Amino acid sequence: MYKIGIIGERDSVLGFMSLGFSVHEVSDAGEAAGVLHKLVNSGEYAIIFIVENLAERLAGEIEAAKYHELTLPAIISLPGNSANTGYGMSAIKNAVKRAVGADIIFNKD
């Protein structure tokens, strides 16, 4: 049995407590990176949600640690309480670009 974790600022992640996620409050990207590595290495988590503004700043770190190549956990960004950056959508867009070589799904918008 695996857990679902969520990393983000207090206001964004508070509600997820009620769902039974294991909530990790952080105040900045540095702290978030530490928590992320700890969660991934613990091996207890199958999904780790990260609030978008933090996910954007952690992108380089995630790339360097090659977490994308692991089967577990899935590291997914979610929009937060404030400053919805659209990073989650652009991450898929980038995956399409990487795989296909051109953006063929999102070019409409």
Partner 1 sequence: MAQLRVNPTRMELKKIQARYDTARRGHKLLKDKRDELMKKFLDIVREDKVLRERVEAGLAGIYRSFAVASAVTGHEIMVESLIMPGREVALDVGYKNLMSVTVPEFRAEILGDGGAAVFNYGLAFTSGELDASLRELAALLPYLIRMAELEKAAQLLAGEIEKTRRRVNALEYIIIPQYLETMKSIRMKLEENERGNTTRLMKVKDMMIEKKIMSKRRDAEEE
Binding site for partner 1 (CB under 8 A): 1-4, 11-12, 14-21, 46-47, 49, 68-69, 71-72, 74, 76, 78-81, 84, 88-89, 91-92, 95-96, 98-101, 104-106
Rounded to a whole number of angstroms, the minimum distance from the CB of residue 51 to partner 1 is 10
Rounded to a whole number of angstroms, the minimum distance from the CB of residue 93 to partner 1 is 9
Rounded Cα gap, residues 28 and 41, in angstroms: 20
Helix (H, G, I), strand (E, B) or coil at 66: coil
Torsion region of 44: left, alpha or beta (phi above 0 gives left; psi -120 to 50 gives alpha) = alpha
